Structure 1
């Protein structure tokens, strides 16, 4: 595991968002980094398309997550 240094403002935004999304601060930052990496690699895809792609890769569908 590595250490990533980020600015105070971004850290505060991650902290607030993590509380809303029920994720740890680290999990929220990791989620944003992964989505950002996938968005750069797939510039024609929307956020929702990226999420659907990740759900499919995990053998889940959006309908499966709605029941939770």
Structure 2
């Protein structure tokens, strides 16, 4: 665990969102980081897809970057061992 410094403005946004969604400020920040991480890794997924992916990851034992990437690849039909441009 570490300390992450954020702006006062973002902290206020976190406080408002965490109150509205009945989460701690830290839990809200972690939720937004998960969503953002997956959105950057898989820009083709929408928020609904990402939410389902997070639920599947939790059911599979927790949040792990490698596992999330593999689940996202499977949900998009991506073959991790396929080479771009190679014929199947």
Q: How many residues align?
A: 60
Misfit runs of 4+, over 3 Å:
none
Offset at residue 54 of structure 1 (A): 1.4
TM-score, with structure 1 as normaliser = 0.82
TM-score, with structure 2 as normaliser = 0.64
Offset at residue 6 of structure 1 (A): 0.3
Spell out the pairing of 1:28-39 with structure 2 (5 A cutoff): 28-39=28-39
Q: Distance in 1 between matches of 2:37 and 2:12?
A: 21
Structure 2: stretches of 5+ with no match in the other structure: 60-88
Structure 1: stretches of 5+ with no match in the other structure: 60-68
Spell out the pairing of 1:1-68 with structure 2 (5 A cutoff): 1-59=1-59
More helix by share: 1
Offset at residue 58 of structure 1 (A): 2.7
Counterpart secondary structure, 1:23? coil
